[in-house]
Structure 1
Amino acid sequence: MYNQAVSISKDYASTYFSDEKIRLIRSEMITVASASGERIMFIDTDGNILMDTSRDITDQNSVRLNDFDYTRSGSRYSQSGRFFDYFGEDMLSVMAPITNAYTVKGYVAIHIPLGTLRSQVYTTFNTNYVTFIIMMMLILLFVAFYFIMIHRPLKAIIKGVDEYSKGNLDYRIDLAPGDELHRLGASLNYMSSEINEMDKFQQKFISNISHDFRSPLTSIKGYLEAMSDGTIPPELHQKYIGIVLFETERLTKLTNNLLTLNDLDPKSVRLNYSDFDINDVIRHTIETFEGVCTEKKITFKLTFSSRQLMVHADMEKIQQVVYNLVDNAVKFSHPDSFIAISTTTKNGRAFISVKDNGIGIPKDDLKKIWERFYKTDNSRGRDKKGSGLGLAIVREIIQTHGERIDVISTEGVGTEFVFSLKTPKSTSSS
């Protein structure tokens, strides 16, 4: 209030005391007083009220403050009360001197009722109090939100990570869906599930490979011991040496397959790409099965879309793919049946199909046939000499080429494998 009084004394009062624009200044003072809820006066050094924003100017000339003594006011004056008995209620009054040439010519006085001031204080206090309550409620809501949406999920995630570090990969992090922390928890659950599956796969892998190595080694040891101690007479040695050699070939093939799978690591494998005729590879491959096919009375039905179909791939590895698929078809085809092999092109790619007329694969086993050492049930697994690695090798080779292989099978009807390869034309265009 005092600063306002000083500002008025500088901007208006000097003009007022020079008797210029009296009514205009009073009108402006009334506007200022109305906006702030205050009452503004101009008072001379004798205590005469020259202007009062709440009284008409014609009445102001005869108004004089009782016992007004400006010498007691000094350079700054404020009081609470009735202001020299001028008001009928208690007021808070502030005066600022009007000076000219270092001489006090009068005062600007600003008044506000103490009741109004208290009401404003209470209103401000109540507003601040309500604001404080609202802020506290917002803070409590934020704390509750933090606890429910951040702290508790983080605690659950930390517990899950701790369980995983202890080897408990079956533990699952249970979080409400819909936020980033839930997605993080789901990712950790998926990671633990994959690690758990990998651990089980490794255990199964070791178990299977141990069994597949142990069986032929047991046979070899048994036959050699029988020949050594005379259980098998010398005239039968040649027969059992042939069996030992056969079991040795099984071990060699199993070892080679394992090495092949190891070499097919996508991060380290190097493919020797070249352009070659896939039809010619198929013709040469089926010639190697002439003996077993004659024995089982199995024939091949070749359907090529053209006499020559050039593809762009690693020829040696694709030969192994064709060999494994044909070998698989021969094993599980019924006697006196045929195996259909076809090649076609579509959208710059070659598609090779190998279809047998055999016992088929159970629907529940279709997704598992690509697993290493996986063999279907005994009804299909009449071929006890398979290692369960052939189809795993096939898929690894095809995926390493950036292609795909699909299988369609119906129990009692047969199985068809179809894989794709790039053609030289598609390679050059890309």
Structure 2
Amino acid sequence: MSNNHKEKRISLTRYWTTRYLLTLCIGLTIVAFLSAIWIRHSTLQNRLNMLEFMGEELTNRLEDNATNIPSVGPPKGPNGNKVDPGMFRERQRFMDMGIDPTIYIVDTEGNILSMNHPKGPVVQQAIPDSVMSSESDVIKFKYEDSSQLYYAVKKEIVIDNKTVGYIIITETKEHLTHLNQEYSQLAIMIGCLALLGLGAIYFLSRRLAKPIKDVAYAAKQVQNGNYNIQLPDNIKEEEVYELVHSFKEMASRLQQLEAMRTELLAGVTHELKTPVTSISGLLQAIQDGVVEGDDQKEFIRMAVNETTKLKTMVGDLLAFNSFSVNSIPVKFENLEINQVIQETVTQWELTQDTEEIELTLVTLSEPRQVEIDLVRFQQVFTNLFTNSKQAMKGHGKIAVKLSETANDVIIRVIDTGMGIPTEEQTLIFERFYRGENKKYEVRGLGLGLPLSKMMAQSIRGDLRLIDSSENGTTFEVNIPKL
């Protein structure tokens, strides 16, 4: 069912930029979230460590100067004298933690003797039993009438080797983990990374999209029949360079094939028209009484020959089309290759004038079974032998040599002809192609080698040109062994 709705397309730059940006944003969000958790945790640990240090400092100071523990009320020294309230503030400024913890001096029963916020909101709250009974220096706890989580740092006050009280420093978890500057810095860093990533993604997407857009535009030109495309060569990316270079090669090849197709079509038309014109002229001469007697018989013979040539060319066309669509049945048989090639060579010699041609055959040292279609096999080598004879202009040497590999039997046909020009060697298997040497000397459609290659492939083998020079040409056919 056809779909009349045209799917909406978006540009490659926009497509990748939006997806890369989405991926970047998700990644940066995860990084920011994990970073915030890590900063929060690190800040909590650092501040708790500093509170422990502060507690130890206060404890040591009290132990060095105190003879007794002050009672509840304004801070008092060990002798009952008033303690300078700045003692607490000096320690806090020294720590410079950005928080204002509550510092208690308590006796061993947990009774508050002194604190740095005597008028604060928690003065009336006793130290929880969980804090007093804990053996740890850092304790998490909650007051009974509050859901807020607190941390407490507890340090013993030891005078004359006797524990007489504790320094307890408390602060809420919220205050211990509260940060403004660090979160702002993290937000600025994440924002800068996002902008940098967006710029890099956009630039790289455009850089990737440009050569692809150029190739797409060039493809439209080729589609419209314009093969003179211009694509840049200064591309650093290997894959993009390969794409552009391959497309340029393809366009050049298509241009070459298009010119060849036009030329070959004209050649095929001429080759088919020539025998038709000859037949028509010969029969017209007989009909008009221009020739009589023996001349008339000769004209009829010539017309029959031209008809045979025309029939052969039309047969080649039909056979080639049939092989192109795989409509020719192939009948495989198990045969001994030495015997088959010997029979093929003999049959060809019997049907050709080979008095000035020296044909030699080198078979395998041991019999080898192959599975082939005998008719197609013989057609391939008959065509190769005939081409060799034409290349040698009726006199020279043809050698047929058999060898084998682990999987294949290799058959080489080597002649001493004039060879195939280097510039034509890549085109000899193109349909309807005829080289310059054959174009004006040998009649035909240029289907012999393409058809032979198709026949070789139809019996699971292949036909290749191995070498060609002014000293001769070598073709190779490989056939799988059983």
Q: TM-score range by the shorter chain?
A: 0.5 to 0.7
Q: CA deviation at 1:213?
A: 0.5
Query: 2:285 maps to what in 1?
Result: 226
Query: 1:52 maps to what in 2?
Result: 116
Count of residue pairs the alignment pairs up: 347
Please give the root-mean-square deviation of Cα atoms over the aligned residues, in Å: 4.5
Q: CA deviation at 1:214?
A: 1.1
Q: Do 1:227 and 1:234's aligned partners in 2 also have CA atoms closer than 8 Å?
A: no
Query: 1:333 maps to what in 2?
Result: 392
Question: What letter is aligned with 1:290?
Answer: L
Query: 2:410 maps to what in 1?
Result: 351
Query: 2:350 maps to what in 1?
Result: 290
Query: 2:97 maps to what in 1?
Result: 36
- Classify 1:96/1:152 alpha carbon distance in 2 versus 1 (closer, same or farther; 3 Å): farther
Q: Do 1:160 and 1:172's aligned partners in 2 also have CA atoms closer than 8 Å?
A: yes
SS at match of 2:312: helix
Question: What letter is aligned with 1:36?
Answer: M
Where does structure 2 lack aligned partners over 5 or more consecutive residues? 1-43, 45-50, 52-69, 78-86, 105-112, 127-143, 146-168, 172-178
Query: 2:481 maps to what in 1?
Result: 423
Q: CA deviation at 1:352?
A: 1.9
Distance 1:226 1:258 in 2: 30
SS at match of 1:264: helix
User: Residues 43-82 of structure 1 correspond to what in structure 2 (within 5 A)?
Assistant: 50-52=114-116
User: Residues 360-399 of structure 1 correspond to what in structure 2 (within 5 A)?
Assistant: 360-378=419-437, 383-399=441-457
Q: CA deviation at 1:317?
A: 0.6
Distance 1:168 1:321 in 2: 38
TM-score, normalization by structure 1: 0.65
Query: 1:407 maps to what in 2?
Result: 466
Query: 1:155 maps to what in 2?
Result: 213
Query: 1:312 maps to what in 2?
Result: 371
- Classify 1:184/1:142 alpha carbon distance in 2 versus 1 (closer, same or farther; 3 Å): same
Where does structure 1 lack aligned partners over 5 or more consecutive residues? 9-15, 44-48, 54-63, 65-69, 71-94, 111-119, 425-430
Distance 2:217 2:468 in 1: 45
The answer to whether 1:241 aligns with 2:305 is no
Q: Do 2:359 and 2:399's aligned partners in 1 also have CA atoms closer than 8 Å?
A: yes
- Classify 1:206/1:134 alpha carbon distance in 2 versus 1 (closer, same or farther; 3 Å): same
Q: CA deviation at 1:239?
A: 0.7
1:167 to 225, 241, 246: 225
Q: Do 1:356 and 1:416's aligned partners in 2 also have CA atoms closer than 8 Å?
A: yes
1:274 to 333, 336, 344: 333
Distance 1:337 1:160 in 2: 50
Q: CA deviation at 1:327?
A: 1.4
Q: Do 1:339 and 1:356's aligned partners in 2 also have CA atoms closer than 8 Å?
A: yes
SS at match of 2:272: helix
SS at match of 1:293: coil
SS at match of 1:408: strand
Distance 1:218 1:416 in 2: 37
- Classify 1:325/1:121 alpha carbon distance in 2 versus 1 (closer, same or farther; 3 Å): closer
Q: Deviations over 1:302-341 (max 9, x none)?
A: 3323485532212111010111111122223355544322
TM-score, normalization by structure 2: 0.59
Distance 1:100 1:346 in 2: 99
SS at match of 2:387: helix
SS at match of 2:445: coil
Q: Do 1:398 and 1:405's aligned partners in 2 also have CA atoms closer than 8 Å?
A: no
- Classify 1:277/1:36 alpha carbon distance in 2 versus 1 (closer, same or farther; 3 Å): same
Q: Deviations over 1:139-158 (max 9, x none)?
A: 334333333x2343343244
Q: Do 1:33 and 1:40's aligned partners in 2 also have CA atoms closer than 8 Å?
A: no
- Classify 1:281/1:255 alpha carbon distance in 2 versus 1 (closer, same or farther; 3 Å): farther
Q: Deviations over 1:20-72 (max 9, x none)?
A: xx99xx99x967993623444679xxxxx95339xxxxxxxxxx9xxxxx8xx
Query: 1:79 maps to what in 2?
Result: none
